[in-house]
Amino acid sequence: MRILSAGDEFVGNDLLKAAVRAELSGTTTEVEFRELSLPWPIEPFGPVAGVNEASGTEEDVIAALDDAEVAVTQMAPFTRKVFEAAPRLKLVSVCRGGPVNIDLAAATEAGVAVTFAPGRNAAAAAEFAIGLLLAAMRRISTSSAELLSGTWRGDYYTYANAGVELEGTTVGLVGFGAIGARVAKVLVAFGAHVLVSDPYADRAAVEAVGAQLTDLDDLLRRSTAVSLHARLTEETRHLISAEKLALLPHGAVLVNSARGGLLDYAPLADALWSGRLGALALDVYDVEPPPADWALRDAPNVIATPHLGGASKQTADRAASIVAAEVGRYVRGEPLANVANPDVLTR
**Active site positions, annotated:** 259, 288, 307
How many other CB atoms are there within 10 angstroms of residue 190's CB atom? 17
Nearest to 219 by CA among 204, 234, 239: 239
Q: What is the dihedral of CA 252, 255, 261, 267, to 10 degrees?
A: 30
